[in-house]
């Protein structure tokens, strides 16, 4: 009988005859021996398949539409390169993401630049790179762009609008409600639109909205379309991203086809037929294609049973920041029977460094390999050096071969910026 958590891992995951988890033809014990732990392991083909699924779902329903990967979910150059090779544009939210997108080979015209507080330096990088669209969030963005754009040229922009949609997700990742730090209310957006339309240096291409992240009901995401349509007729409508990803067996996010159907139904009802539609999936694009592999460092059976691993909030801030729930398996003992309720904790000097509470596992032992599925989104990007932690490698696995696309930090790396 398959392990009940196996389907949280990338498609095609299996268990070898000795009970060891196998991903993309690679045994996890071999991955641990070659790359060490913790390690963020990506099933490359699974990630590519997801990109193709999104692209096909959108373009088969509307020819004048494009998918732009929200890079902040996993801003590794190698991941961005996968998206570019699969025909997607890149949504970037900072100077470093712009530069890595260019390293990944993206056509600058397919870059969409976001941010509620873009610096002059970041906007200069975007303008000089030829970024296709800058999403202006405020008057200050416009002031800076008008200083940076060379007379005789123009920069394509979208205006970010608060659609007034309250999504049923964690408050920290709600962005469509009145009072959000992102975007402008419709009256303020109208004033900024009029200003941009009068500027000889800026080309108003359209409007943008984003409701939030980890949203399970696509109707909440589609609800942003009508408020955008009420602002007028434009060449481009960027509907943002936000579709939820599956982290646990209880999560039931909408399928990509259901999500796109909901958006296209709203677009058909409210938007011009000739307008270009952009969507910006992030979390749902990459989360299921990766898992984090740890080694159990200590097991403490006392008032509670604590299974401590060699990582934690240094490589996964989602649990601490948003209370994100995860599952995990003993990856080299997949055939063993569950025996105890445990708390999986990290090695960092914080009581909040708890990865999973509670979790049912076989009786854990020091040296066991513990794998946490569904960690492709917002783990690498928020990894940090707390307690002198060395950020882990990113490993791509495909057809029985594995390669590091980002190496593990060294002790020397920690001091490279000392002066």
Exposure b/e, 188-214, CB count within 10 A at least 16 = b: ebbebbebbeebebbbbbbbbbbbbbb
pLDDT digits (tens, 9 = 90+) for 162-182: 987 666 555 656 555 666 777
* E strands, 232-373, in order: 236-238, 276-279, 290-301, 305-309, 329-330, 340-345, 354-361, 369-373
**With contact defined as beta carbons under 8 Å apart, do 167 and 205 qualify?**
no
**For residue 38, cis peptide bond before it (omega within 30 degrees of 0):** yes
**With contact defined as beta carbons under 8 Å apart, do 282 and 46 qualify?**
no
Instruction: Name the catalytic one among 63, 198, 349, 419.
Output: 349
Q: What angle do CA 173, 179, 180 make, to 5 degrees?
A: 30
pLDDT digits (tens, 9 = 90+) for 197-227: 999 999 999 999 988 778 889 999 999 999 9
Q: What is the DSSP string of 182-212?
A: SSB-HHHHHHHHHHHHT-SSEEEEEEE---B
pLDDT at 171: 64
What is the percent of the chain with per-residue pLDDT over 70, rounded to a whole number?
96
What is the percent of the chain with per-residue pLDDT over 90, rounded to a whole number?
91
**With contact defined as beta carbons under 8 Å apart, do 97 and 112 qualify?**
no
Compute φ and ψ for 162, nearest 5 degrees: -85, 110
pTM to 2 decimal places: 0.96
Is position 349 annotated as part of the catalytic site? Answer: yes
């Amino acid at each position: 009988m398959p392990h009940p958590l196996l389907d949280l891992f990338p498609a095609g995951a299996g268990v070898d005859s000795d009970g060891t988890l196998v991903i993309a033809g690679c045994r996890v014990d071999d991955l641990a021996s070659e790359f060490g732990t913790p390690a963020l392991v990506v099933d490359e083909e699974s990630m590519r398949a997801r990109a193709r699924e999104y692209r096909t779902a959108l373009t088969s329903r509307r020819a004048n539409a494009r998918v732009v990967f929200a890079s902040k979910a996993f801003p590794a150059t190698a991941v961005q390169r996968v998206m570019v090779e699969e025909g997607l544009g890149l949504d970037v939210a900072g100077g470093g993401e712009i530069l890595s997108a260019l390293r990944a080979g993206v056509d600058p015209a397919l870059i969409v630049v976001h941010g509620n507080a873009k610096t002059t330096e970041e906007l200069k990088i975007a303008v000089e790179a030829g970024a296709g669209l800058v999403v202006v969030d405020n008057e200050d963005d416009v002031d800076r762009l008008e200083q940076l754009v060379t007379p005789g040229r123009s920069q394509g922009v979208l205006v970010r609008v608060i659609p007034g949609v309250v999504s049923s997700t964690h408050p920290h990742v709600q962005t469509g409600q009145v009072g959000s730090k992102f975007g402008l209310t419709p009256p303020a957006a109208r004033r900024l639109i009029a200003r941009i339309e009068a500027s000889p240096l800026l080309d108003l291409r359209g409007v943008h909205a984003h409701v939030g992240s980890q949203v399970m009901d696509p109707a909440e995401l589609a609800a942003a379309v009508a408020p955008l349509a009420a602002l007028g007729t434009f060449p481009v409508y960027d509907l943002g991203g936000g579709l939820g990803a599956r982290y646990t067996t209880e999560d039931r996010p909408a399928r990509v086809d259901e999500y796109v159907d909901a958006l296209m139904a709203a677009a058909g009802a409210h938007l011009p037929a000739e307008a270009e539609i952009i969507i910006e999936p992030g979390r749902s694009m990459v989360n299921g294609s990766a898992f984090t592999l740890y080694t159990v460092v200590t097991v403490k059976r006392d008032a509670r049973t604590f299974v401590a691993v060699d990582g934690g909030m240094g490589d996964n801030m989602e649990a601490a920041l948003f209370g994100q729930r995860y599952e995990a398996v003993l990856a080299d003992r997949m055939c063993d029977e569950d025996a105890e309720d445990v708390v999986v904790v990290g090695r960092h000097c914080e009581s909040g460094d708890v990865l999973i509470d509670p979790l049912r596992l076989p009786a854990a032992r020091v040296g066991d390999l513990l794998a946490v599925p569904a960690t492709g989104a917002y783990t690498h990007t928020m990894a940090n050096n707390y307690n002198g932690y060395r950020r882990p490698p990113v490993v791509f696995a495909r057809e029985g071969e594995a390669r590091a696309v980002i190496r593990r930090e060294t002790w020397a790396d920690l001091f490279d910026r000392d002066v």
